Amino acid sequence: MANSVSGDSVVDRVVRVIAAFPEGASSLQLSDLAVRAGLPLTTAHRLVRQLAAHGLLETGAGGTVRLGLRLWELVNRNSPTLALRQAAMPFMEDIQQVLNQNVNLAVLDGWEALFVERLSRRGSVVNRAKVAGRMPVHVSSAGLALMAHQDMALQADYLAQFEDPAGKATVDAMRGLLSETAHQGYAQLAGVVDPDTWGIAVPVIDGKKRAVAALGIVVPLQEMRLQALVPALQTAARGIARRLGRDEP
């Protein structure tokens, strides 16, 4: 029920407060938080005080506000990605040991790949995928691997709304790329996010033949060896799927 002049609900405003914290920011001034959440200062102050009482936010000296440990606790206790990350971690560590490069794990959220885990080492190539970071499906090998292994209705919805802000990819090109990815069983993108890197990803397929995650790596262009990299990723993805299957009730 809406109960403000603007018509938004209390839940809407609480979500805006929590979502206002930008990536990499450990705290915000209350005034900045109010601006980023699009709320009057008095409203933001009241919501922050109430959320802090439940441990979801923390307030500090000088009017600073940070996300609370209680929020982290609740999310990690019941997150649907927790079982996925636990199942995937041993395989991701094995892949990283062999390749000494970035390894990431993503799920599909809307029309974006949401990265839920990443392993990297000093000296590895730049990897723009960050934990809790997002990338549009069409610029991420993980996103392509995920979308190419969804049902046709979902793919049709995706293509119907598709538009590349950069103007480089067309709907027909995306349709062809998804078809190619589904046929090959892996996705690859060279130099899309960073000109000197190559992203490869494979789907983690559940019992319903649907991709529940994508396991990917980012390697230098000069180290691209599909004949070696893809089988290693596919073996790991099958192992993750087996572990997930055993953990299901």
Going by pLDDT thresholds of 50, 70 and 90, the confidence category of residue 233 is very high
- Residue 179 predicted with pLDDT over 80: yes
Distance of CA 123 to the CA centre of its chain: 23
DSSP-assigned states of every residue in 32-72: HHHHHHT--HHHHHHHHHHHHHTTSEEE-GGGEEEE-HHHH
pTM, two decimals, is 0.77
Report the 10 Å Cβ neighbour count for 5.
Answer: 7
Q: What tokens were used for 86? A: 């636990």
Q: What is the CA radius of gyration of the chain?
A: 21
C-alpha dihedral sign at 80, 162, 126, 215: positive
Of 33-37, 117-121, 209-213, least confident by mean pLDDT is: 117-121
- Residue 247 predicted with pLDDT over 70: no
Q: Over pLDDT 90: what percentage of the chain?
A: 57
- Residue 177 predicted with pLDDT over 70: yes
Walk me through the domains of the chain, giving residue ranges and CATH numbers.
Answer: 10-75 (1.10.10.10), 79-247 (3.30.450.40)
DSSP 105: E
- Residue 1 predicted with pLDDT over 50: no
Using CB atoms within 10 A of its CB, is residue 53 exposed (0-12), middle (13-18) or buried (19+)?
exposed
- Residue 126 predicted with pLDDT over 70: no
